[in-house]
Amino acid sequence: MIAELVSSALGLALYLNTLSADFCYDDSRAIKTNQDLLPETPWTHIFYNDFWGTLLTHSGSHKSYRPLCTLSFRLNHAIGGLNPWSYHLVNVLLHAAVTGLFTSFSKILLGDGYWTFMAGLMFASHPIHTEAVAGIVGRADVGASLFFLLSLLCYMKHCSTRGASARTWGWFLGTGLCAGCSMLWKEQGVTVLAVSAVYDVFVFHRLKMKQILPTIYKRKNLSLFLSISLLTFWGTSLLGARLYWMGNKPPSFSNSDNPAADSDSLLARTLTFFYLPTKNLWLLLCPDTLSFDWSMDAIPLLKTICDWRNLHTVAFYTGLLLLAYYGLKSPSVERECNGKFVTNGKQNANGHSCHSEVEYRNSEIKPSFPSKVENGIKNNVSQRTRLPSTENIVVLSLSLLIIPFVPATNLFFYVGFVIAERVLYIPSMGFCLLITVGARALYVKVQKRFLKSLIFYATATLIVFYGLKTAIRNGDWQNEEMLYRSGIKVNPAKAWGNLGNVLKSQSKISEAESAYRNALYYRSNMADMLYNLGLLLQENSRFAEALHYYKLAIGSRPTLASAYLNTGIILMNQGKTEEARRTFLKCSEIPDENLKDPHAHKSSVTSCLYNLGKLYHEQGHYEDALSVYKEAIQKMPRQFAPQSLYNMMGEAYMRLSKLPEAEHWYMESLRSKTDHIPAHLTYGKLLALTGRKSEAEKFFLKAIELDPTKGNCYMHYGQFLLEEARLIEAAEMAKKAAELDSMEFDVVFNAAHMLRQASLNEAAEKYYDLAAKLRPNYPAALMNLGAILHLNGRLQKAEANYLRALRLKPDDIITQSNLRKLWNIMEKQGLKTSKT
């Protein structure tokens, strides 16, 4: 029990500093934007959606069905919201629990000695676990490992009680249930059933390859045959149900996720897929270089036989086959121990065992089964059993290392990654056990005390180095900036791109731009990076450059709806309404099939339709606008915030004088977001129009209360006061609005208009002048400035502004009439005019 507690404590202590870490990398999509975590989403959706919140049967789904992990995230969210501390705490506690269980499992195989302690400490400290423990989405792997070990321990108990107690089938039931739970945490959890079969055949029954088939058909081993058959049936049932639930289709991934799978060369695919397990083993043995992402070109393809990395592949599979042969070969009848022949573990002379002192200590006699039935005869004689031999443990270690890793090898289906460190969490159990049993075998074999000490301390030193590397790597996971900087050496394109997003969020604009350009230097066709760079440029008013990068992004990925959306917005603001209309329409027609994030796509399509409706609205095509708004509501995903869309629906109905419909949509807007200011203002205008003046005033005042710094709120309230003939109050509201939003043309222009109506002509002149400066080529601004100057007696300035307005709009009748009146006055006063 001490070994379990100490190992768990080390696993806990090494990751305590991650409790202060932020959400990183995939955490955002799995937690922060996952609608399945929200209380308003029915919890049953978790069992129909994938890990990222996409419907499992959708063509773009990742097919990662992990409902128990998502359910744990939802519980975290219910208790602590989006505070990352609680999420990290659960991950660390799960890792400590898995470490304790692994140590208990090792004790069954290695005995109650310091080698068990070594195995537990090695697992607790291994750096390959950092991504699974420090990265919150890695909880899927840690949770799957917990139930993986519980299932395996239940099966070991089933084996030890088989034929002796009826409760043995209770343990088997526990095996099946825990295996199912492990699979519902992460897909590879189902492989525990295969590992259990290996344990039963090669460890519990100590069979060798040549003995398997003859032994299974013997009458006294029907129980073994039955157990293996039930394991096979349950595993097949789980896999069949899993395949059916995800729509009987494998997931589809982009070529950047797994470049080898997308390669046209069979040779390149074959050599690369054979090499990747070698690289994974190296990460387990020497985790010097770790990265948050190994996609794209992190591992260059092996394209020819002459690639020197093929030597690594040959060495890896040769070593694997030798280990398998060592564990599975049939034992010789006689072997030599200290110069004397031994048969079945006993020397033929002097009656002494050939075990060394250490091997003897680690081979303590375990309690036997209470009774055992053999050949139909109940034997109550106590059976004294030894611990499994080194060969048996090697076979089990290899099965733990290899079988859970098989789903990630691209053997049965292509996966969405090149290497994923968190996928190695379960296989690392086999690795730690293999290293420990290898060190123990060497320790037993050598005779000199110096060599024994050297082996023991070398193993202990390895654990210390692993622990130090884990502590250092945990520092990289403290925040996204450190994490992405640490990955530049392995995957520069992905790391620079993600770093650009972080720097942008920190308002380090020039550094963010440089990071995006670095990412594109390494991989020029990354649609996401082209889009992100375009967005950065757009937000900094570099619209021509932004359009260029949006077009490149669309060229790289024609289904990128967000690039169409922002392209249309820029074109609309530039007055290129026809181009904007075509862009929005094209975006609205893009289907969401085979898209990685259909929710985000639907949100962008909805936004495109919303902006298209606004475009029609500004052009006075209110019926067309309503038609587009209705389409947007039909396509709107659950996570889309609809208040602005509903408000514009109300505005369109208002312009068509359909006041009941307008009121309905204004109320819908306020129901969807009770503090939505535009809906307060537009609904207030409708109430005023329908004679409910006191209610209208309450909505205007509520809008001001919600945001006292927004000049637009004062402007609308001022217009209401003006209509109520409360001129002094209206003038005050107009001044307040223009002061707060002095760079917003509409606010300044309308404020000047209200001041003029209140006969405050000097103040009106000031704001008409400001409006003309904000839009020097807007005829209405120049005409109104000319009119107020005309009224205020500044005749020559008035003439200049009338003439400028007419140059921009020569056929404007009002400006022409005002200019003629002005010239008449100027001629009467003897002033020179441009006419003369």
CA distances from 23 to 18, 80, 493, 506, 723 (A): 10, 14, 21, 15, 52
pLDDT band at residue 266 under the 50/70/90 scheme: very high
- In the predicted model, is pLDDT for residue 623 greater than 60? yes
Q: What is the DSSP string of 75-94?
A: HHHHHHTT-HHHHHHHHHHH
Q: Output the average pLDDT for the chain.
A: 88
* C-alpha closest to that of 831 among 818, 783, 802, 822: 822
Domains along the chain?
1-32+82-250+389-404+421-472 (no CATH), 723-775 (no CATH), 778-835 (1.25.40)
List, in sequence order, every residue forming a beta bridge with 75; answer none if it has no partner. Answer: none
**DSSP-based helix, strand, coil % in the chain, nearest 5:** 70, 5, 30
Would you tell me the crossing angle of helices 2-14 and 114-125 to the nearest 10 degrees?
Answer: 20
Which of 13-17, 293-297, 590-594 shows the lowest per-residue confidence on average (mean pLDDT)? Answer: 590-594
8 A C-beta contact, residue 782 and residue 805: yes
Average pLDDT over residues 649-670: 94
pLDDT of the residue at 361: 39
DSSP label at residue 336:
E
Task: Kindly report the pTM of this predicted structure.
Answer: 0.82
Angstrom distance (rounded) from CA 610 to CA 572? 13
pLDDT band at residue 684 under the 50/70/90 scheme: very high
pLDDT in tens, 749-795: 888 888 888 888 888 888 899 989 988 888 888 899 989 988 888 88
Write out the two tokens for 264: 């046209």
Cβ neighbours around 311 below 10 Å, total: 10
DSSP 3-state assignment of 535?
A: helix
Angstrom distance (rounded) from CA 587 to CA 611? 11
**For residue 330, is it left (φ>0), alpha (ψ between -120 and 50) or beta?**
beta
Give Rg (Cα) of the chain: 37
pLDDT band at residue 712 under the 50/70/90 scheme: confident
Buried b (16+ CB within 10 A) or exposed e, 620-634: eebebbbbbbebbbe
- Only one residue has tokens 């270690």, namely 397
Contacts of 52 (CB under 8 A, 6+ apart): 29, 30, 34, 62, 64, 597
Angstrom distance (rounded) from CA 134 to CA 16? 10
pLDDT of the residue at 656: 94
pLDDT in tens, 106-152: 999 999 889 999 999 999 999 999 999 999 999 999 999 999 999 99
pLDDT of the residue at 221: 74
pLDDT in tens, 30-63: 898 888 999 988 999 999 998 888 888 887 787 8
pLDDT of the residue at 554: 96
8 A C-beta contact, residue 786 and residue 815: yes
CA distances from 24 to 91, 138, 660 (A): 14, 11, 48
Angstrom distance (rounded) from CA 796 to CA 94? 82
Average pLDDT over residues 401-429: 92
Q: What is the DSSP string of 138-168?
A: GHHHHHHHHHHHHHHHHHHHHHHHTTT-TTH
pLDDT of the residue at 374: 36
pLDDT band at residue 337 under the 50/70/90 scheme: very low
